[in-house]
Structure formats: C-alpha cells, structure tokens
Amino acid sequence: MTVILAAVIGAKALYLLFLWLGAAIICSWLSMRSGYGERPGLASGLLLTVFGLIPWVIIYLWIPRPGSRRAEEGIVPRRHKADERPA
C-alpha cells in the first residue's frame, strides 16, 4: 500500500512541478516581449505560479512599453527566415 501511494503522490508532484516551471517560462517570455525584461516575469511566475500569468497576459495584450518587440511586431510574433534572423 505504501509503494502505490508513493507512486501516486510522486506523479502528482511531477505534474505540479511541470506546471510551476511552465508558468515561469511563459511569464518570462511575456514580460520580455512586453519590454519589461525577463526577471520580473520570471519572479512573478515562480512566486505566483499560474496566478502570475494573469497580469502578464493583461500587460502583454493592452499595455506593452513603446519600442518593445511586442509593440513593433504585434501580438503574434513574426517568424524569421533563416537568412534574416536578428543577431
């Protein structure tokens, strides 16, 4: 019984870990594209997990900084061809 319970708890913990790391990655990407830098998004994603996504989605869609990649390229990032990738 103990081994089965440990396997179930371990699988749930692994899924929660993936959710936590995924939220941190998405928050970091959204904040970087919005022009606020990578660190604020990473910090809010790690500390607030899924709830950290909500403010960054709002910031990304409605209030990006002028001159940011999101403001210049739009909401959906443009795909670059192999010969025109930025340095």
List the domain boundaries for the chain.
Answer: 2-70
**How high is the pLDDT of residue 27?**
96
pTM above 0.75, yes or no: yes
Report DSSP letters for 39-86, one per residue.
HHHHHHHHHHGGGGHHHHHHHHHH-PPTTSHHHHH-SSPPPPPGGG--
77: confidence class by pLDDT, cuts 50, 70, 90? confident
**How high is the pLDDT of residue 7?**
73
86: confidence class by pLDDT, cuts 50, 70, 90? low
Dihedral in degrees, nearest 10, Cα atoms 15, 53, 48, 7? 0
